[in-house]
């Protein structure tokens, strides 16, 4: 990527891999240890958090613009797929799920949501499964909401609706 590839303007929604969707609220110049440093000031409303990212480090930390429409459609299509549950210990799977969520990659996050979704007729999730599922769903919903200019709750309902329909389709195939 060139030097201009990652330039964000005030008001832009951006994705910071470890925190999800935030908004650039200002560009600051601070002097730190005698050196001038340009910073993006990001605001994450849900966490009530402000983050300052040096403009020259934005690419290195994985900060990016909102996904393209094609990437979002690929992520939503991923939700319709068959869940892949590995038969490894939960602690190892939990680490893999957390890594996918923190990668900031929308399709990887959608895989976590798909794999941890439980329909009403399926066994209950453990507390830690539920926590990871909710974190992944929230991360996906916030990006969908920012892209569609809607609220997180509406986006979350859209995601859950896709998952429910996919689960019902699987049940229908099994019963036939």
Q: Would the pLDDT of 4 be above 50?
A: no
The pLDDT tens digits of the residues spanning 70-79 come to 999 999 999 9
Q: Which two tokens stand for residue 148?
A: 């569609």
pTM score of the predicted model: 0.85
* CA dist list (Å): 39 to 17, 36, 102, 115, 120: 17, 10, 22, 37, 46
Q: Which two tokens stand for residue 62?
A: 């994985």
Q: How many CA atoms lie within 13 A of 150 on its CB side?
A: 12
Residue 174, pLDDT score: 57
Q: Would the pLDDT of 160 be above 80?
A: yes
Instruction: Please report which confidence band the pLDDT of residue 121 belongs to, taking 50, 70 and 90 as the band edges.
Output: confident
Residue 176, pLDDT score: 55
Q: Would the pLDDT of 118 be above 70?
A: yes
Q: Give SS3 for 169.
A: helix
Q: Which domains does the chain have, with CATH numbers?
A: 13-65 (2.40.10.170), 69-175 (1.20.58.1290)
Q: Which two tokens stand for residue 157?
A: 């309902």
| The residue to which tokens 């429409």 are assigned | 69
Q: Would the pLDDT of 172 be above 80?
A: no
């Amino acid at each position: 990527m060139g030097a201009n590839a990652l330039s964000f303007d005030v008001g832009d929604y951006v994705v910071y891999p470890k925190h999800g969707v935030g908004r650039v609220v200002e560009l600051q110049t601070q002097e730190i240890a005698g050196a001038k440093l340009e910073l993006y000031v990001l605001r994450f409303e849900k966490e009530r958090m402000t983050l300052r990212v040096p403009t020259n480090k934005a690419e290195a930390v994985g900060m990016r613009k909102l996904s393209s429409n094609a990437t979002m459609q690929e992520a939503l299509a991923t939700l319709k797929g068959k869940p892949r549950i590995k038969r490894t210990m939960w602690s190892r799977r939990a680490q893999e799920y957390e890594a996918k969520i923190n990668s900031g990659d929308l399709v990887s996050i959608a895989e976590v949501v798909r794999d941890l979704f439980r329909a009403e007729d399926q066994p209950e999730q453990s507390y830690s499964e539920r926590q990871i599922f909710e974190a992944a769903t929230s991360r996906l919903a916030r990006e969908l909401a920012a892209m569609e200019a809607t609220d997180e709750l509406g986006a979350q309902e859209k995601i859950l609706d896709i998952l429910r329909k996919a689960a019902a389709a699987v049940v229908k195939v099994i019963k036939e």
